[in-house]
Amino acid sequence: MLLALGTFPFGIDTLAHDELQRRTSWRQATTPRIGARDATQFVGPGEETISLPGSVFLEIADGSVSLDELRRMAATGDAWALVDGLGYIYGAYVITGVDDRGKHFLPDGTPRQIDFAIELLRVDVDPR
């Protein structure tokens, strides 16, 4: 298992992401000053997002089933614990986007390759 979001495991047999991009920001309030830079005050953490792009191949796993499961999870609006394969806990995340693109189709329209991207947003709630 590469990563788990709630009960959904990212791995070779489901969805193996090619990279994990994490962005963390902090909020600074500003007040204009004459003849000087704006005054700033730290007001707390900002958004923390994770992007998981990757590709899944029909010969290895049926990615459409896994993507449908992630869409079902996103539709609940619930936050899910995000944990990597080494046990590091990233925190509670909601799914804000699931993108996919099918390529190299079989005669019945089934894509042999699906490129995907999952977008997650950290929230301050108890994860499931």
Query: Which residues, other chains included, contact 85 with Cβ-Cβ below 8 Å and sequence gap of 6+?
Result: 1, 2, 3
Distance (Å, whole) CA 33 – CA 69: 51
Query: Which pLDDT score is estimated for 109?
Result: 86
**CB < 8 Å & 24+ apart, contacts of 66-69:** 66/8, 66/14, 66/15, 67/15, 67/98, 67/100, 67/114, 67/116, 69/8
Residue 4: pLDDT over 80: yes
Distance (Å, whole) CA 111 – CA 127: 34
Say what the alpha-carbon torsion angle 76, 79, 83, 84 is, to the nearest 10 degrees. 60
Question: What's the chain's average pLDDT?
Answer: 92
User: Among 67, 92, 89, 64, which Cα is nearest to 78's?
Assistant: 92
pTM (two decimals): 0.85
User: Among 96, 108, 122, which Cα is nearest to 64's?
Assistant: 108
Tell me: the pLDDT tens digits for 12-42?
888 899 999 999 999 999 999 999 999 999 9
Tokens of 23: 């962005």
Tell me: the pLDDT tens digits for 96-120?
999 999 999 989 988 898 999 999 9
